[in-house]
Amino acid sequence: MEKSEITTKLQTAIAEEILNLPQKKIDPNEPLISSGLVDSFSLVDLAILVEDTFNVRLDDTELNSDVFDSLSRLADIIASRM
């Protein structure tokens, strides 16, 4: 899967399933975690979403803004593990 395809899938899934804001268009470089858009209670949901959609497991310890904070960075991680 191309990175752009991963990014598009993440954009839709995060807006719909995690943020509950289906109309929202998340910018690939927009901070997700440090901005509070994805709060700490939703990080597990994000890990589950990534695993269900891409069959890539994010470790509990990777769920912080130092590892990834934007869609683009998350897509890189996913692409590297597919």
Partner 1 sequence: MKQNFSQQLVHQVKHFPDKEILHVLIGQDYKHITYQNLIDGSLRFQRYLDLKGVEKGDVVIIILPHGLDLIYAYFGCVLNGCIPSIMPYLTEKLIPEKYRQDLEALFRITQPNGVITFQDFLDEIKFLTADNQGDIAIIYIEDIDPNSQVIGQEGGLEGFPGLERKADDLALLQHSSGTTGLQKGVSLAHQAIFNQLESYSESLKLNSQDVIVSWLPLYHDMGLIAGFLMPIFLGIPLVLMSPFTWVRAPYLLFKAITDFKGTLCWLPNFAYNFCAKKIRPRDMADTDLSTLRAVINCSEPMRKSSHDMFSEAFKHYGFNPSAIATSYAMAENVFAVTQGGIESPVNYDVIKLIPFQEEKIAIPFDNDGQEIVMVSAGKPIRGTEVNICDEKENFLPERRIGEILIRSNCMLRGYYKRDDATKSSFINEWFKTGDYGYLAGGELYITGRKKDLIIVGGKNIYPKDIETIVMEIEGVHPGRVVAFGVFNDQKGTEDVVVIAEIEDEYVDRINDIEAMIRAKVTKESAIALRQVLTVNKKWLIKTSSGKIARALNKEKYLKEIDQDY
Interaction between residue 49 and partner 1 (CB under 8 A): no
Q: Are 18 and 71 in contact (CB under 8 A)?
A: no
Q: Which is nearer to partner 1, 53 or 65 (CB)?
A: 65
x/- site string to partner 1, residues 21 to 40, per CB under 8 A?
A: ------------xxxxx-xx
First-last CA distance in the chain: 8
Q: Are 81 and 56 in contact (CB under 8 A)?
A: yes
Structure tokens at 82: 């597919």
Q: How far is the CB of 4 from partner 1 (least distance, A)?
A: 24
Binding site for partner 1 (CB under 8 A): 33-37, 39-45, 48, 60-61, 63-65
